[in-house]
Amino acid sequence: MPKLPSFKPRQVVKKLVKLGFIEHHQVGSHLTMKHPQTKRRAVIPMHLKDMKKGTLLSLLKEAGIDKARFLIV
């Protein structure tokens, strides 16, 4: 398994858009993205700091994306 580097929330949003996710809505500092075909969703905390690795892994699991595919995009 490739090691997961740190990402800022905006970088994660750009990668999810490339994977087919669209911005659904935002409440406070949390952006919800949804995939139109699979109906999977991802909730991203929109802060200025890097996302914690556990948060990013949880987000990928919720969205149904494996680490390798996320890193390639």
* Domain at 27, CATH number: 3.30.920.30
Long-range contacts, stretch 1-8, CB < 8 angstroms, 24+ apart: 1/67, 1/68, 2/67, 2/68, 2/71, 4/53, 4/56, 4/57, 4/67, 4/71, 6/50, 6/51, 6/53, 7/50, 7/51, 7/56, 8/48, 8/49, 8/50, 8/51
For the stretch 9-63, pLDDT in tens is 999 999 999 999 999 999 999 999 999 999 999 999 999 999 999 999 999 999 9
- Determine, yes or no, domain membership for 1: no
- pLDDT given at position 66: 93
* Confidence band for 1, pLDDT divided at 50, 70 and 90: low
Q: Please state whether the predicted TM-score (pTM) of the whole model is above 0.85.
A: yes
30: domain range? 9-72
- pLDDT given at position 21: 98
DSSP, collapsed to helix, strand or coil, labels residue 16 as: helix
- pLDDT given at position 3: 83
